[in-house]
């Protein structure tokens, strides 16, 4: 009888040890997978500042895809160019307006790409209305030809955004992610 009790205890201890080892291995695999996914495929980003209002507010939390082909109107996370005179390594969130080779003309709050008017429904907001009511344009007037390998990016809150109209076009390799999902705040969860 004592032999059976000892054998039963050994089996229980072996079972508990195997269970703990299985849990540890599973946690290492899960954490490793999360690390690989968020290091090479996705990025977890936080909006800092008002330059993309009202589309994004300060402290919004976003998921971005790292490998993408930039298209017009994509919202992207980018490494701030040196010309922005920001903290080294600073990340910005902006909207792609101009692609390589595009001629961009902004005149009287209307944007033209290669002679065609660009629809910008995201600019129909209280900030633009306040500027227009005060007799100001929301988007500065400018003309620019985007060089090959570069992109023209702008914030949605045009009159305060530090973007390409200040620091110029952005190299493709500085566009580090395309925003695909906002998960915070919960009442504004949305895919892009």
Catalytic residues: 51, 94
Q: If you write DSSP's letter for every residue of 55-118 in order, what string do you get? A: TS-TT-EEEEESS----TT-EEEEEPPGGG---TT-EEEEEEEE-TT-EEEEETTEEEETTEEP
Given a contact cutoff of 8 angstroms between Cβ atoms, the answer to whether 35 and 156 are in contact is no
Contact 185, 124 (CB under 8 A): no
Return the residue matching tokens 């500085």. Answer: 174
User: Which contiguous run of DSSP H or E holds residue 176?
Assistant: strand 175-184
Beta strand 142-145 with 91-98: parallel, antiparallel or unpaired?
Answer: unpaired
Angle of CA points 136, 158, 177, to nearest 5°: 175
Structure tokens that stand for 159 in this block: 């009159």
Q: What is the CB neighbour count within 10 angstroms for residue 116?
A: 8
């Amino acid at each position: 009888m004592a032999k059976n009790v000892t054998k039963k205890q050994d089996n229980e201890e072996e079972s508990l040890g195997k269970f703990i080892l299985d849990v540890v291995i599973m946690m290492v695999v899960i954490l490793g997978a999360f690390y690989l996914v968020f290091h090479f495929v996705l990025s977890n980003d936080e909006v800092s500042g008002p330059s993309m209002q009202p589309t994004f507010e300060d402290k919004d939390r976003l998921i971005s895809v790292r490998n993408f082909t930039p298209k017009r109107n994509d919202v992207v996370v980018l490494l701030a160019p040196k010309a922005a005179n920001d903290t080294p390594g600073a990340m910005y969130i902006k909207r792609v307006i101009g692609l390589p080779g595009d001629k961009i003309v902004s005149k009287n709050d209307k944007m033209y790409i290669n002679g065609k008017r660009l629809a910008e429904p995201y600019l129909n907001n209280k900030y633009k209305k306040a500027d227009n009511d005060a007799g100001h344009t929301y988007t500065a007037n400018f003309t620019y030809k985007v060089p090959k390998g570069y992109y023209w990016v702008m914030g949605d809150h045009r009159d305060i955004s530090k973007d390409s109209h200040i620091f110029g076009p952005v190299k493709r390799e500085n566009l580090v992610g395309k925003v695909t999902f906002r998960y915070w705040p919960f009442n504004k969860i949305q895919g892009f």
